[in-house]
Amino acid sequence: MTVKRTELTSVEAKRIGVMAPKMNIRIDVNSNVSQIYLTEEDTARIEFRFMATYTGLGSVGIEGRITFTGEAKELYEKWTETGNMPEKAAQEIHGAIMKSCMPVAVLLSREVQLPPPMPMPPINIKGKKKKFQPSSGMEVA
């Protein structure tokens, strides 16, 4: 099973509220598969929607499609019967959606002055700073 191609078909960013200087913001990020089509015996087209919702402030939405190869027939049959995907395929597909959409969502959120839809890594600076000590000789590469 392989995600062969990811294509974004629609992007949208909205800001509806005003952000206070010190405000706790709840950001919900999710991806949904809306439809799966069998295009060939071993190829499926998967339509998806990625959504980052900023409660009371706005949203970033991205739609697209994925070309999936491998066990596409099994994926399509399980989807049409139960509305679910096999666990391994679902993990790979949702991972591909996040990899494709998260960088775009970060850029779009910046354009409408919303925080990025993912937490920033914490920065901890511990200990004393080391003093700069010039080297005694010439550096040769």
Domain ranges of the chain: 2-111
DSSP per-residue letters across 33-68? EEEEEEEETTEEEEEEEEEEEETTTEEEEEEEEEEE
**Per-residue confidence (pLDDT) for residue 11, from 0 to 100:** 96
**Per-residue confidence (pLDDT) for residue 135, from 0 to 100:** 61
CA distances from 136 to 42, 57, 131, 133, 140 (A): 65, 56, 15, 9, 13
Fold (topology level) of 2-111: Bacterial Protein-export protein SecB (3.10.420)
H or E element in which residue 10 lies: strand 2-15
**Per-residue confidence (pLDDT) for residue 24, from 0 to 100:** 83
**Per-residue confidence (pLDDT) for residue 2, from 0 to 100:** 85
**Per-residue confidence (pLDDT) for residue 1, from 0 to 100:** 65
pTM value is: 0.79
Decide: 13 and 60 in contact? Cβ < 8 Å.
yes
Residues of the chain with pLDDT under 50: none
Q: What is the pLDDT of residues 77-113, one digit of tens each?
A: 999 999 999 999 999 999 999 999 999 999 999 999 9
